[in-house]
Amino acid sequence: MSSSNAPHSISSSQNPHFRRWIHLLDSRGTKKFHQFIVFGEKVVRETLFSLESAPLELVFPVSQPLSFSPPTHVKPYVLVKNLFRQLDIFGTHFPLLICRTPELPLIDLRESPQGLEVLCPLSDPSNVGAVIRSCLAFGIHKVIMLQEASLPFHPKAVRASSGAILRQPLFQGPSLDGVIEQSDSKTLVALDMEGEPLDKFTWPKNLRLLIGQEGPGLPDPFPFRGLAVPMGSSANSLNAVVAASIALYGYRLQHPL
C-alpha cells in the first residue's frame, strides 16, 4: 500500500467517521448519508474494484492487516477490535466496504413494461435482498421498489442479496395505491393465494408482476388478475420470496433467457 493511501487509525467511538458508519446500520442513516455498507469477503472483493458501485472507504480491524491494496480512490481505515466488532454485525471478520448509494430512477407505470418487471412492496429487508437476488438470477429487466418496501441498501438487504443489489437494475415506484391508479389489466398481474393456478397461466412477454406484502397481502379489493402457486392442502402459505421465485421460474419456462 502506498504511503499516500496509508490507513487512518480510529480508536474512539466518538470519531465522526465511526459515528457515521454506525448510523449506516439502519435505513435512516443510509438515507441521511447516502451511503451503505457491503459485508462479506466475496462481495467486498467483487465490489471494491467496480466503479459502478462507487466504493468510498474500506474499514478493517487492527488485528487483521490488509493482504491486498485497495484502489487509490478508496480510503482505508483501521479500527480497534471492539469498534470493528460493532460494525461487523454479521460476524464476517473481513474488511467492510462503504459505498455511495445510487439514485433510483423514478418510473411511470403508465408506460408499457419491457420484458418482465417486478413490483416489490416487501417491508422485511432480508426478503427485499433475497427477491432482488432471485430477479437477477432470472434476468428480470427491472425491479421497482414501491414506497411500502424496505430500503434495498439496508444492511440485511445488502447481505441477503449477495451483491445482487449492485447489479440488478432498480427503480423507484409509487405506493400500492399508485400502482392501482397507474396500471391496467393488460400490464399487471399479482401473486395472490386466491388467484388462478400459476401453472395454467400463459405469460405475456411484457408484463409487471406485483408481489404481495408479507402478512396483509394485496389491497382489498384488488382489481387485477391474481396468480397462485399450487400447494398441498396442509400448507397455509409460502414465503413471499419463495412464491416470487417460483413465479419467475414459470415466466422463464415460457420466455427463456
pLDDT tops 70 at residue 236: no
Question: Is residue 105 domain-resident?
Answer: no
Domain span at residue 45 reads 3-100
Render pLDDT for 33-89 as a digit per residue (tens, 0 to 9).
999 999 999 999 888 877 666 889 999 998 777 777 888 889 999 999 999 999 999
Same domain, 169 and 198: yes
How many CB atoms are located within 10 Å of the residue 138 CB?
Answer: 17
- CA 164 to each of CA 11, 49, 80, 215: distance values in angstroms, whole numbers, following the listed order: 33, 16, 30, 25
Same domain, 90 and 210: no
Of residues 66, 67, 63, 61, the one with CA closest to residue 88: 61
Q: What is the helix (H) or strand (E) element at residue 162, kind and residue range?
A: none
Number of domains in the chain: 2
Same domain, 65 and 147: no
Distance between CA 178 and CA 180 in Å, rounded?
5
pLDDT tops 60 at residue 3: no
Question: Is residue 83 domain-resident?
Answer: yes
Whole-number mean pLDDT of the chain?
Answer: 89
Render pLDDT for 88-101 as a digit per residue (tens, 0 to 9).
999 999 999 999 99
Question: Is residue 106 domain-resident?
Answer: no
Render pLDDT for 169-218 as a digit per residue (tens, 0 to 9).
999 999 988 988 888 888 899 888 777 888 888 999 999 999 987 766 66
Same domain, 77 and 168: no
Same domain, 127 and 245: yes
pLDDT tops 60 at residue 28: yes
With beta carbons less than 8 A apart as the criterion, state whether 172 and 151 touch.
no
Same domain, 53 and 135: no
Same domain, 149 and 248: yes
Same domain, 54 and 175: no
Q: Residue 50: its pLDDT value, please? A: 73
